[in-house]
Amino acid sequence: MKTEKPKILVAPLNWGLGHATRCIPIVEALLENGFEPVIASDGVALHILQKEFPHLIFLELPSYQIEYAKNGAFFKWKLIKNSPKMMEAIYHERQLTKKWVKDYQLVSIISDNRLGVYSKKVPSVFITHQLNVLTGNTSWITSKLHQYIIKKYNECWVPDSAELPNLTGKLGHIKNPHFKINYIGPLSRLNKIELPKKYDLMVILSGPEPQRSMLEAHLKEELKRYIGDVIFIRGVVESEQKTEQVASITFYNFMTSKQLEQTFNESEMVLCRSGYTTVMDLAKLEKKAFFIPTPGQFEQEYLAKKYKKEGIVPYAKQDKFVIENLYEIDLYKGLQHYNMNLDWKKLFLLFERK
């Protein structure tokens, strides 16, 4: 007689692709350890995971309707303006979670920054690299609010190291926490493979609109002066994969994990945002890179400044970037991988709690 595997809800936030893609190694580990992941999200985050795990159960959560301002200086105020819609979405996902715990007989929940996806009836985990949420002069209150929400969960998993060296700096480390923190080490779906170099430059974009499109348009103009072979992944997840060759640039709308792994390993250097999931991928692959943080997103700006100060990766503001900036890459040591030997079985013991 076939025994039904215990079901665990995995719910990443739909903000770019980072939250969804860093959940891929967690979903794979759950499968390897005898669990049945049930995926819940919305938009491109849901679509990318459907492409990676077509055999799993997928559920749709309400959208937080996160929008970026065209002017990065107004990003925070745009979020505040949209906060009523966000709060409504959090309320609805809270109600859906209660229903799904019963309907699917869930034994646990893993929420990657989904603020309403938790339950008092089953162990619930919150994944974040931002114990401190940077928002300029309001950082103290946004950090306190975020920590208040995290306290509702049984554990908080931070994809970083507790000690030095670490990747998150003050984002992922706080003094005297009032909730259980488990530092699980950087998460990446990719592996380093020795392959012949095919591309001089890999460009990979992601993140909410309109900033993704604005950066794409800017880089297309700058790359007209670049001498070398370029692969350009636009970060637009659609029903079908599309490619286009323009001079020495190969464009893709999106790539699967396997394709990305090969392309990263075939590329000499990478031009991208300084989002934390991208940082973890680059560290795992030990790549040299150049960062263009999303305007107005304090987290990405903080990480870009941190890595430049530490001599790891250079960066430029989006409106100031010129292709000649890439010459700076050779002056920096690049991101390095450190392996924490994560014990998934031990980590998953929480889910066996009755």
Of 276, 263, 270, 113, the residue nearest 203 (C-alpha): 270
Q: How many angstroms separate the CA atoms of 271 and 205, rounded?
A: 9
3 Cβ contact list (under 8 Å, min separation 6): none
Q: How many angstroms separate the CA atoms of 335 and 287, rounded?
A: 6
Q: Provide the whole-model pTM.
A: 0.91
Name the average pLDDT for the chain: 92
Calculate mean pLDDT across residues 107-132: 96
Q: Which residue has the higher pLDDT, 73 or 43?
A: 43
Q: At residue 159, what is the residue type?
A: P
Minimum mean pLDDT among 190-194, 234-238, 304-308, 340-344: which range?
340-344
Q: How many residues does the chain have?
A: 354
Q: How many angstroms separate the CA atoms of 142 and 177, rounded?
A: 16
What's the pLDDT tens digit per position in 11-23?
A: 999 987 889 999 9
Q: What angle do CA 291, 296, 301 make, to 5 degrees?
A: 35
1 has a pLDDT exceeding 60: no
* CA atoms in the 13 A half-sphere facing the CB of 238: 11
Coil, strand or helix: which one is 149? Answer: helix
Q: At residue 337, what is the residue type?
A: H
What's the pLDDT tens digit per position in 220-242?
A: 999 999 999 999 999 998 889 99
Quote the pLDDT of residue 263: 98
Q: In what order do the strands lie in the sheet with 124-127?
A: 57-60, 36-41, 7-12, 106-112, 124-127, 155-158, 181-183
Calculate mean pLDDT across residues 165-174: 95
Of 283, 255, 129, 108, the residue nearest 191 (C-alpha): 283
* pLDDT bracket for residue 338 (50, 70, 90): confident
The total of other beta-carbon atoms located within 10 Å of residue 179's CB is 17
Q: How many angstroms separate the CA atoms of 341 and 68, rounded?
A: 37
Q: What is the 8-class DSSP label of residue 268? A: E
Helices (H) and strands (E) in the chain, counts: 10, 13
Minimum mean pLDDT among 49-58, 63-72, 128-137, 238-247: which range?
63-72
* CA atoms in the 13 A half-sphere facing the CB of 12: 26
Of 229, 170, 210, the residue nearest 318 (C-alpha): 210
Of 88, 182, 184, 169, the residue nearest 134 (C-alpha): 169
